[in-house]
Amino acid sequence: MDDNKPLQEKIIAGTDSLKDLAIYLSGVKDGKGNLLPLGTVVLDDLWNAIKYLQGDVRYTLKKEKKEMETIAVWFSCGAASAVAAKLTVEKYGETHNILIVNNPIKEEDPDNIRFKNDVEKWIGQEIIEATNKDYPNASIVEIFEKRKYMSGIAGAPCTMLLKKEARYQFELTHEIDWHVLGFTVDETHRHERFIKGERANTIPVLIDAGYTKTMCFDALIMAGIKLPAMYDNYENANCPGCVKATSPTYWNTVRVVHPEVFEDRAEQSDRLGVKLVRYKGKRISLKDLPKNAKGGKIQTYECGIFCDSY
């Protein structure tokens, strides 16, 4: 279908309308304010005039993309936000300008990038990046070093600066009318907290469509898209060694699956005086965590622009 093809709709004719058209055309001016002779009326003016006309057949140009409302879909490289992006494009692609936005993290698993590329092809649209201009390397390790802090009851500076603050900066340069996040029906409470505490103009695309996280996995598998490798061992596609996790089960998994990351976090957290894991009710150093210790959820939520502390 030709996108620029004018749409045609029938409306009631009237002589007054023709008079209006004549008045409109006789008042069309050039850029300097001079009245234009009818022969030089350009096509845009003619379309405007016809839109103005209450004639028997009216043609309207399709609304320009720039005049449409803009929806930003915040894609986290997780399964749920991938499906949210797909549903948003399917449901609103004809009527809205859709931006699919990712906050890259230097230390995320490289397979997240493969997944992002696959999702781009699946939805037929580029996924753009939003980074914090003060941290152009988007490195969590660099942030921990600069902030001398990794995680605690106030949350984690990496998600605050590389996700939340990056979104704020993106919003300053892009007019966004609506947001879409990957909240599933299992996470309705998070969506409600987000609309109360952050942005009321959020469309719960997955919740409206009744999608659970498992259904998102299924949708991707059905589409032939391999899930990010992080899901092989963890509940989400967050950075390996996510500093918001405190469970012994999680950190002992990191120790086995990503030993070099475990060592790096242990070294940096000890040096900065941060205790990342909770064992027997107390925060302790990763180096003091027994290798067979278990307990706590392996991890809860995807890291995203909705910054949870957990």
Positions touching ligand SF4 (CB under 6 A) are 105, 140, 156, 158-159, 162, 238-239, 242-244, 303
Residues 208 and 172: their CA atoms lie apart, in Å, by: 28
**H helix or E strand, kind and range, residue 71:** strand 70-75
Structure tokens at 186: 């299992």
Residue (239 or 266) nearer to ligand SF4, CB: 239
The bridge status of strand 277-279 relative to strand 282-284 is antiparallel
φ/ψ (deg, to 5) at 290: -60, 145
CB of 215 to ligand SF4, least distance (A): 23
CB 296, CB 247: distance < 8 Å: yes
Question: CB of 159: closest distance to ligand SF4 in angstroms?
Answer: 4
Q: Is the Cβ of residue 83 or residue 162 nearer to ligand SF4 in the bound state? A: 162
Helices (H), 96-187: 111-123, 140-147, 157-159, 165-173
The rounded distance, in Å, linking the Cα atoms of 244 and 150 is 8
The answer to whether 255 and 291 have CB atoms below 8 angstroms apart is yes
- CB nearer to ligand SF4: give 114 or 164: 164
Least separation in angstroms between CB 281 and ligand SF4: 23
- Secondary structure element (H or E) that encloses residue 99, with its range: strand 97-102
Q: Least separation, in Å, of the C-beta of 136 and ligand SF4?
A: 16
Q: Select 80 or 303, whichever has its Cβ closest to ligand SF4.
A: 303
Q: Rounded to an integer, what distance in angstroms lies between the CA atom of residue 266 and that of residue 144?
A: 13
Q: Considering beta carbons, is residue 108 or 118 the nearer one to ligand SF4?
A: 108
What's the rounded Cα separation, in Å, for the pair 11 and 57? Answer: 6
Task: Name the residue nearer to ligand SF4 (CB basis): 99 or 140.
Answer: 140
| Shortest distance (Å) from residue 11 CB to ligand SF4 | 54
| 90 φ, ψ (degrees, to nearest 5) | -65, -40
Q: Are 254 and 262 in contact (CB under 8 A)?
A: yes
Task: Give the residue closest to ligand SF4 by C-beta.
Answer: 303
Beta bridge partners of 99: 72
List CB contacts of 5: < 8 A, sequence separation 6 or more. Answer: 62
CB of 75 to ligand SF4, least distance (A): 14
Shortest distance, CB of residue 244 to ligand SF4, whole angstroms? 4
**Amino acid residing at 98:** I
Closer residue to ligand SF4 (CB): 158 or 180: 158
151 touches 243 (CB < 8 A): yes
Q: Which is nearer to ligand SF4, 114 or 147 (CB)?
A: 147
Nearest approach, Cβ of residue 137 and ligand SF4 (Å): 13
